[in-house]
Structure 1
Amino acid sequence: MDNIREIILSAGGVLKKRYFESFSCAEKEKYDLVSEVDLEIEQMLISDLKSISFYSEECGEIGNQQGTRWIIDPIDGTANFIFGVPYFNISVCLEKNDQIVEAYVYNPITDEMYYSTEEKKASFLNDKPIHVSETSEIRNSFIVFGFSANIRNINRYYQECPLLFTDCKKGMGLLSPALNICNVARGRIDCFIDFGSNMEGHAGAALILENAGGSICNYDFSEWSHKTKGCIAASKNFYHRARDCYF
């Protein structure tokens, strides 16, 4: 574990340095951006982890070791990185036999490292244990939604979870699934909802949340699979309240 953390910290140092420099970016598809720094950090992690198999945000599947692979998002929150918003992270997790057993989420700007393992059944932020909030009422809740300035996506949330959107204490749109889920895990926010999050962004953070006492499911409230697009992540007390507010 310590070796993996050192690798991520080293990559995070490069990512932080590049944040303050100029770099190029491109559009992968409508509203989906990639920077040259994503590719730099991705190659750095793949090289340093020295594993046979990976799945990474930018290059997809690498290798063919059966049953074990590292899942990597070199910059989860690329839009924030490009726009100069210091809310992005490196996400790395280990998948064995379709289960996430080890997870790391690191924001190099704030120097915050979240991590957890299936073996320890606990989650940590910079070596201190973290736990979800005790909030249970919508009127007292802080909720994050996964959207940018896209009116179709915003309208979809309004249509599918109107009470959460209108009755919470404060709702925000933030583009970094791993950090959003980790902020639920540490008790800073009560719920994160995103119909578009991807495996490489939410897989590791989901383990961190669950081992901090939280709950996560697929966006349609089916049983959680980190390979499915979309998620609803919440504290244990708030999870069923959120479910009752849908549709």
Structure 2
Amino acid sequence: MHSFLKELIVKAGDLCLAEQGQLTLQSLEFKTRKDLVTATDRQVEAFLIQEIQSRFPDHGIWGEETGQMLTDSDYCWIIDPIDGTTSFFHGQPYYAISIALKKKQEIILGAVYAPALGQLFHARKNQGAWLNDHPIQVSATTTLTDAVMATGFACLRAGKKNNNLVHFNRIVPQLRDIRRCGSAAIDLCYVAAGKVDGFWEMNLNVYDVAAGILMVTEAQGEVTDFTGGPDFPEKGIVAANPVLADILRSQLTS
């Protein structure tokens, strides 16, 4: 299934590359005033579902655009066809396809492909994580002063009054720098690869983070909610090496 997943997600990335730049304002739909979806999101998800059902007809699927099907199966593929749709529509490279495979309650496979960047991240439970087939590991940074972190603002897109701005204003002045890709899947993979030292965000969905969570944990990192518990992403999400994750959580709950 690992090889199937890698081949499948690259094909989905090729669809994105072919369609990016071809979209118009008239082709957009809006889930909310700020949360947009393109025809390519739907096209890619339909392609992925068709390929998975053809190979594994008894597996469940949870897609961002189509919802859940075959929910009584032990296996469930969790799909975000384009994480970072705004970047995709605006011709920017920071978007990715994210696919995870869950067996019962455990994520056992994950892949995130950023086609415009040529970066394929993949992970297998208890076997490690890779970027373009090279093993990856979280950074060893243990202080905020030395850290470059990533975050996002799904909370603002959702119109939440309790949002990330308070945390952002407290944490960012203590960091070396901050990055904002607009794709939680990429942010988590960059934590896994040591390209950024930590990540936090609010108001994400399971399909945004499922594959990235496995990437971080298989790269010797830690993923929790804001309080250190397992209720992520519902109660926020924190990802970093264990030492830095503890420091970041203290900032988020102070």
TM-score (norm 1): 0.91
Cα gap change, 1:133 to 1:55, in 2 (>3 Å): same
Q: Deviations over 1:201-228 (max 9, x none)?
A: 101110110010111112x324224563
Cα gap change, 1:12 to 1:207, in 2 (>3 Å): same
> Residues of 1 paired with 2:170 and 2:230: CA distance?
23
Deviates more, 1:95-104 or 1:2-11: 2-11
Identity %: 27
Q: Which amino acid aligns with 1:112?
A: Q
SS in 1 for 2:227: coil
> Residues of 2 paired with 1:68 and 1:149: CA distance?
30
Cα gap change, 1:239 to 1:223, in 2 (>3 Å): same
Deviates more, 1:146-155 or 1:104-113: 146-155
Count of residues paired in the alignment: 245
The match for 2:175 is 168
The match for 2:50 is 47
The answer to whether the 8 Å contact 2:217/2:223 transfers is: yes
> Residues of 2 paired with 1:95 and 1:111: CA distance?
25
Runs (5+) with no aligned partner, structure 2: none
Q: Deviations over 1:114-154 (max 9, x none)?
A: 1111141x110011000111111111111111127949779
The match for 2:249 is 243
> Residues of 2 paired with 1:131 and 1:107: CA distance?
19
The match for 1:34 is 37
The answer to whether the 8 Å contact 2:202/2:233 transfers is: no
For 1:57-206, list aligned pairs within 5 A: 57-120=64-127, 122-147=128-153, 150=156, 156-160=163-167, 162-206=169-213
Runs (5+) with no aligned partner, structure 1: none
* Aligned residues: CA RMSD: 2.2
Q: Which amino acid aligns with 1:189?
A: V
Q: Deviations over 1:82-107 (max 9, x none)?
A: 12211010101101111101000001
1:25 aligns with 2:58: no
The answer to whether the 8 Å contact 2:23/2:89 transfers is: no
* Cα deviation, residue 230, structure 1: 3.2
> Residues of 1 paired with 2:235 and 2:63: CA distance?
15
The match for 2:227 is 221
The answer to whether the 8 Å contact 2:144/2:175 transfers is: yes
The answer to whether the 8 Å contact 1:199/1:229 transfers is: no
* Cα deviation, residue 21, structure 1: 1.8
SS in 1 for 2:164: helix
Q: Which amino acid aligns with 2:38?
A: S
Q: Which amino acid aligns with 1:88?
A: Y
The answer to whether the 8 Å contact 1:158/1:165 transfers is: no
The answer to whether the 8 Å contact 1:198/1:230 transfers is: no
Runs of 4+ aligned structure 1 residues displaced above 6 Å come to 151-155
Q: Deviations over 1:10-66 (max 9, x none)?
A: 111111111132252111113211001000000000001123310000011122343
Q: Which amino acid aligns with 1:8?
A: I
Q: Deviations over 1:177-223 (max 9, x none)?
A: 110000000001111111122100101110110010111112x3242
The answer to whether the 8 Å contact 2:88/2:94 transfers is: yes
